[in-house]
């Protein structure tokens, strides 16, 4: 870890412009979808982040040829020779991302069996995979848990099914989509997640030849087809990265133009940003080469405290929570944050308190709506009293979004902080060090 450290000199408002690329939470899924096609797929605007490397590696060990396309950020996937991989080849990627679980359906369709390594992803809750396994079994898969990973077979093929999710899980909804598109017959999924990245994955699958109807009230109906082909797709922009830079602008008293950010996917975030006193201006794209974007800035006046609950889309996204909390440490009054998606996503507030913030966490559901974690001993609500003067300290990054928050806090603080474990940030933020430099941050490798 010793060379995985960034020295951050604080008290620097971030000013300037940066660009966001395709969404981490869509790009990796679209890459898995390429396995389902009989012909090559092309994905544009792919960010250079670790999750993309992990999925690329997993595709390659299964015989998919992955190459760079003609334009920067374009990847081409040729699934003509999909083949089984050894457990050793697959296990190289154990513990590195959550995406391997989504290989189940596609590999069962292509090979009749699958081996899925242990999953990674952020440690922000238990993150069980019971909905995934339940759905796969409904399709007819036989799932065997192994000491490390799991194996799946489908001796009688995969058949469409009716399935209701106990909670609108993003990953489990994607699991059902990626399995149902080539399953025999019709699948009806109830209580599905409807995040923008899921809608974009449905666009990818429809381009490939799938028949998917999105009904009201979280019902998705998929009519299985016998063949899918490749796609060419330009993903939705990364709304989580965009919101992270927006919160960074607010927390540091800065002014950041996020090129590529799209208003439609960020409505709930924009409402909160405005209600705490942040300013933003949306520029729509015009002309084929024009990206559009959103400029976010601190108006100079004091920020206002707020009450917010994270929720599934269209609620306030849980991945927006941590960077926004750093901005809330600078708002006057008591803010309340109720985290309802993950049971352990507030641990990072301890480090903010060491820097001078006043954040108290509670087991109770403080937002007004009781959630799954109430009375279960999870500190999942926070009260933030502000504004607080932050001072530098040494920080160890616990997970992706908390890591970005630590960086923002270090930039907003008085003095020089050492932020350890920064490579974790590369899991979701392309070129973040170059972007920080472009925004005038003083941060360097020791
Ligand atoms: C790669 C990716 O796209 N990651 C995103 C995805 O994660 P991911 O798809 O893992 O998140 P889910 O929506 O599945 O998880 C939401 C909640 O459902 C629970 N659950 C989920 C599956 C299951 O089988 N059993 C179960 O209990 C989880 O523990 C969690 O409490 O959506 C999350 C919620 O928007 C985001 O924070 C992540 O950035
Ligand atoms: C929780 C996140 O990602 P993952 O599901 O990949 O861990 C995130 O992007 O904030």
Q: Along the 446 residues of the chain, how does pLDDT read in single tens digits?
A: 468 999 999 999 999 999 999 999 999 999 999 999 999 999 999 999 999 999 999 999 999 999 999 999 999 999 999 999 999 999 999 998 999 999 999 999 999 999 999 998 888 999 999 999 999 999 999 999 988 899 999 999 999 999 999 999 999 999 999 999 999 999 999 999 999 999 999 999 999 999 999 999 999 999 999 999 999 999 999 999 999 999 999 999 999 999 999 999 999 999 999 999 999 999 998 876 688 999 999 999 999 999 999 999 999 999 999 999 999 999 999 999 999 999 999 999 999 999 999 999 999 999 888 999 988 899 999 999 999 999 999 999 999 999 999 999 999 999 999 999 999 999 999 999 999 999 999 999 99
| Pocket of ligand 1 contains residue 341 by CB under 6 Å | yes
CA 125 to centroid of ligand 1, rounded, Å: 10
Answer yes or no: is the C-beta of 125 below 6 A from any ligand 1 atom: yes
CATH 3.65.10.10 fits 24-233, yes or no: yes
Is the Cβ atom of 400 under 6 angstroms away from ligand 2?
yes
The alpha carbon of 397 and the centre of ligand 2 are apart by a number of angstroms equal to 14
Task: Compute the distance from residue 386 Cα to the ligand 1 centre, in Å.
Answer: 31
Closest CA to ligand 2's atom 1: 122
> Ligand 1: distance of its center to the CA of 42 in Å?
27
Nearest-ligand number for the alpha carbon of 26? 1
Pocket test for ligand 1, best of 25, 97, 169 (most atoms within 8 A of CB): 169
Going by CA atoms, what residue is nearest to atom 5 of ligand 2? 121
Question: Whole-angstrom Cα distance, residue 70 to residue 398?
Answer: 37
Task: Write the residue with the smallest CA distance to atom 8 of ligand 2.
Answer: 319
Ligand 1 site-directed mutation target among 120, 127, 345, most atoms within 8 Å of CB: 127
103 in contact with ligand 1, CB cutoff 6 A: no
170 lines ligand 1 (CB under 6 A): yes
Q: Is 24 annotated as a binding residue?
A: yes
127 Cα to the center of ligand 1, angstroms: 7
Which residues neighbour 71 within 8 Å (Cβ) at sequence distance 6 or greater?
A: 44
Q: Residues of CATH 3.65.10.10 domain(s) within the chain?
A: 5-20+238-444, 24-233
**Ligand 2: residue whose CA is nearest its atom 2:** 122
Helix (H) or strand (E) segment spanning residue 258: strand 255-259
pTM for the predicted model, two decimal places: 0.97
Q: What is the pLDDT of residue 2?
A: 60
Which residue has its alpha carbon closest to ligand 2 atom 4? 121
C-alpha–C-alpha distance, residues 433 and 437, integer Å: 6
How many Å lie between the centroid of ligand 1 and the Cα of residue 129? 9
CA distances from 250 to 202, 255, 293, 334 (A): 34, 8, 17, 17
Q: Which atom of ligand 1 lies nearest, measured to the CA of 125?
A: 29
Mention the CATH class of domain 5-20+238-444.
Answer: alpha beta
Burial class, 151, CB count within 10 angstroms (exposed 0-12 / middle 13-18 / buried 19+): middle
**Helical H segments across 64-222, by residue range:** 87-91, 104-111, 130-139, 170-180, 196-208
> Looking at residue 375, what is its pLDDT?
82
CA pair distance 176, 163, nearest whole angstrom:
9
239 is in an annotated binding site: no
Distances (CA, A) of 5 to 2, 241, 251, 390: 6, 21, 22, 20
**Residue 98 marked as a ligand binder:** yes
The residue whose CA has the least distance to atom 9 of ligand 1 is 171
Rounded-to-integer distance, Cα 190 and Cα 193, Å: 9
Atom of ligand 1 nearest to the CA of 193: 13
Q: Which atom of ligand 1 is nearest to the CA of 171?
A: 9
* Dist. CA 297–CA 306, nearest whole Å: 18
Which ligand 2 atom is nearest residue 171's CA?
5
Among residues 353, 283, 285, the alpha carbon closest in space to that of 325 is found at 353
pLDDT (0 to 100) of residue 1: 47
> Is residue 130 lining ligand 1, measured as CB closer than 6 Å?
yes
Query: Which residues, 6 or more positions from 146, have their beta carbon under 8 angstroms from its beta carbon?
Result: none
Q: Is 122 in the pocket of ligand 2 (CB under 6 A)?
A: yes
Ligand 1: which residue has its CA nearest to atom 8? Answer: 171
Residue 30: DSSP 8-state: H
Catalytic residues: 122
Q: Which atom of ligand 1 is nearest to the CA of 28?
A: 1
Ligand with the closest atom to the CA of 312: 1
């Amino acid at each position: 870890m010793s060379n995985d450290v960034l020295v951050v000199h604080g008290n620097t408002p971030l000013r300037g412009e940066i660009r966001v690329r395709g969404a981490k939470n869509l790009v990796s899924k679209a890459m898995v979808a390429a396995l389902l096609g009989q012909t090559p797929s092309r994905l544009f605007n792919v960010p250079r982040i670790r999750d993309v490397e992990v999925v690329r590696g997993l595709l390659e060990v299964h015989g998919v040829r992955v190459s760079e396309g003609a334009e920067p950020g374009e990847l081409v996937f040729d699934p003509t020779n999909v083949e089984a991989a050894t457990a050793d080849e697959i296990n190289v990627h154990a513990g590195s991302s959550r995406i391997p679980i989504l290989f189940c359906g596609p590999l069962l369709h292509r090979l009749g069996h699958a081996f899925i390594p242990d999953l990674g992803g952020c440690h922000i809750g238990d993150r069980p995979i019971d909905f995934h396994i339940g759905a796969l079994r409904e399709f007819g898969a036989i799932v065997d848990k192994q000491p490390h990973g799991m194996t799946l077979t489908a001796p009688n093929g995969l058949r469409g099914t009716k399935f209701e999710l106990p909670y609108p899980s993003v990953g489990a909804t994607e699991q059902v989509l990626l399995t149902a598109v080539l399953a025999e017959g019709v699948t009806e999924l109830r209580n599905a997640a409807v995040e923008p990245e899921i809608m974009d994955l449905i666009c990818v699958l429809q381009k490939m030849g799938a028949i998917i109807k999105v009904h009201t009230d979280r019902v998705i109906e998929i009519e299985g087809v016998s063949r899918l082909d490749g796609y060419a797709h330009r993903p939705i922009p990364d709304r989580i990265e965009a919101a992270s830079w927006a919160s960074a602008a607010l927390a540091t008293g800065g002014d950041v133009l996020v090129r590529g950010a799209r208003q439609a996917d960020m409505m709930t975030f924009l409402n909160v940003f405005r209600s705490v006193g942040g300013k933003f201006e949306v520029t729509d794209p015009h002309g084929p080469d024009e990206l559009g974007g959103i400029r976010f800035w601190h108006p100079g006046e004091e920020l206002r405290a707020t009450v917010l609950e994270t929720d599934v889309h269209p609620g306030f996204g849980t991945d927006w929570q941590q960077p926004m909390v750093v901005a809330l440490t600078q708002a006057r009054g008591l803010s309340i944050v109720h985290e309802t998606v993950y049971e352990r996503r507030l641990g990072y507030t301890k480090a903010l308190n060491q820097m001078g913030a006043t954040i108290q966490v509670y087991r109770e559901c403080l937002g007004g709506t009781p959630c799954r974690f109430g009375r279960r001993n999870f500190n999942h609500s926070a009260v933030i009293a502000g504004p607080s003067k932050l001072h530098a300290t040494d920080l160890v990054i616990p997970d992706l979004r908390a890591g970005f928050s630590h960086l923002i806090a270090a930039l907003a603080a008085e003095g020089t902080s050492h932020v350890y474990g920064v490579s974790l940030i590369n899991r979701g933020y392309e070129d973040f060090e170059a972007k920080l430099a472009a925004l005038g941050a003083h941060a360097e490798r020791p």
